[in-house]
Amino acid sequence: MTSAATPAAGSGAGSGAKVGPAATKSRRRRRVRILTRRDRLVLAALIGVPLLLDLAFVWFPALASVGLSFTSWTGVGPVHLKSCNAFHTLPGLPKPGCVYGVQNYHQAFTVYPAFWPAVRHNAIWLGVFILVATPLGMLFAVLIDRGLRGSRIYQSLLFLPVMLSLALIGIIWEFVYAPDRGLINTVIGRNQNSNQIDWLGNPHLNLWAILVEACWRQAGYVMVLYLAGLKAVDPSLREAATVDGANAWQTFWRVVFPTLRPINVVILVVTVIESLRAFDLVYITSKGNPLRGLELLSVSVTQSIVGETQRIGFGSALGVVLLVISLVPISMFLWQAFRREER
């Protein structure tokens, strides 16, 4: 019975057309009725298993983050659902897990030295991605899309860094930035002991040095996304603009760019999320230790769980800060992607 239905989709579609209006009229009801008990079990498994994994390992931790951020849990012992004021702790002993109110947030905002630098650095990261990497990637895409000779080679080589892991990128750029024998310092003659520039160590420089690495990769990513968008632009639009006497600059900004709106939203979302996720480059460059000038929210979160003293509550609070910020681009993307279906 099932084997009869299997051969090629083409013949299936053909006979489907013959069924015609009668089938479409009762489409919705039929589909429900047509599911046998076995079908229902299969359906439940098909949707249930992925949903369960997504809920258990992504959404549950995300919500647990919010809950734990109001506790003082250090990972030792249970979490009590009582206020921390009810516990008298002896000095030197770790606090039990208890309800801590907004103390973690308060500490992060006022006492924790890395918090505001981290926020500033994440913001700079985002700013550089928006102001440097994105326009650069867009420029690459526009030039390649014009069909320059050899544009395939340009595209491939500019895209190469996107394929590499960020850990690897961090390592290969160390040769460029090495203070005593690196590419930059040797070329600009600052490789003597007296005048070396410590690109990755100097807290005023290292963020910018790492942002060069990050943009090196991000521009290729943006380029590919824009290329996909540009290739889908109806050529007759451009022809019409040219006939009307628009130059290349006007054609792009007034005619082509507005049609790229969906891609622009995707790129904005990707950019914000990537700036919040920024971690690997900094971690590999600082060899796993916090390094002044390179504080990031993601690094602070990781520090609170991999260190010797775990600060689960505090780390969760930092995670919630990331969560709240990331909800903005996430909702933007969801609104764009799903508003049709919602109607």
Partner 1 sequence: MAVTVTDAMTDARAVPRTRPNRRRPSVGRISAHVFMIGVTILWVVPILFALYVALRPKEETDRLGYVSIAHRLTLSNFSEAWTQSNMWHFFVNSVAITVPAVVITLALASGAAFAVSRIGVKFNVAMLILFTAGNLLPQQVIITPLYRIYLAIHVPHFLNSRGLLYDSQFGLIVINVSFQLGFCVFVLSNYMKTIPREMDEAAIVDGASLWTRYWRLTMPLCRPALAALATLLTTWIYNDFFWAITLISTGNKRPITSALQNLQGQFVTNQNVIGAAALMAAIPTLVVFVLLQRQFIAGLALGSSKG
Residues 29-58 that bind partner 1 (CB under 8 A): 30-32, 34-36, 38-39, 42-43, 45-47, 49-51, 53-58
164, 122, 57, 83: which is closest to 301 by C-alpha? 122
Q: Is 21 in the site for partner 1 (CB under 8 A)?
A: no
- By C-beta, is 41 or 85 nearer to partner 1? 41
Q: Is 68 in the site for partner 1 (CB under 8 A)?
A: yes
**Among 96, 137, 201, 329, interactor with partner 1 by CB under 8 A:** 329
Q: Is 298 in the site for partner 1 (CB under 8 A)?
A: yes
Q: Is 254 in the site for partner 1 (CB under 8 A)?
A: no
Q: Could you tell me the two tokens for 281?
A: 């480059």
DSSP string, 137-195: HHHHHHHHHTT-TTHHHHHHHHHHHHHS-HHHHHHHHHHHH-TTT-HHHHHTT--STTT
Residue 314 CA to residue 343 CA, distance in Å, equals 41
CA distances from 277 to 12, 131, 234, 273, 331 (A): 46, 18, 35, 6, 17
Least distance to partner 1, CB of residue 102, Å: 17
**Among 96, 137, 201, 229, interactor with partner 1 by CB under 8 A:** 229
Residue 181 CA to residue 293 CA, distance in Å, equals 23
- By C-beta, is 62 or 86 nearer to partner 1? 62
Interacting residues with partner 1 between 123 and 182 (CB under 8 A):
140, 143-149, 151-154, 156-161, 163-168, 171-176, 178, 180-182
Q: Is 187 in the site for partner 1 (CB under 8 A)?
A: yes
- By C-beta, is 102 or 232 nearer to partner 1? 232
Residue 246 CA to residue 233 CA, distance in Å, equals 17
Least distance to partner 1, CB of residue 110, Å: 21
Least distance to partner 1, CB of residue 316, Å: 5
Residue 114 CA to residue 311 CA, distance in Å, equals 15
HSE toward the beta carbon, residue 219, CA cutoff 13 A = 22
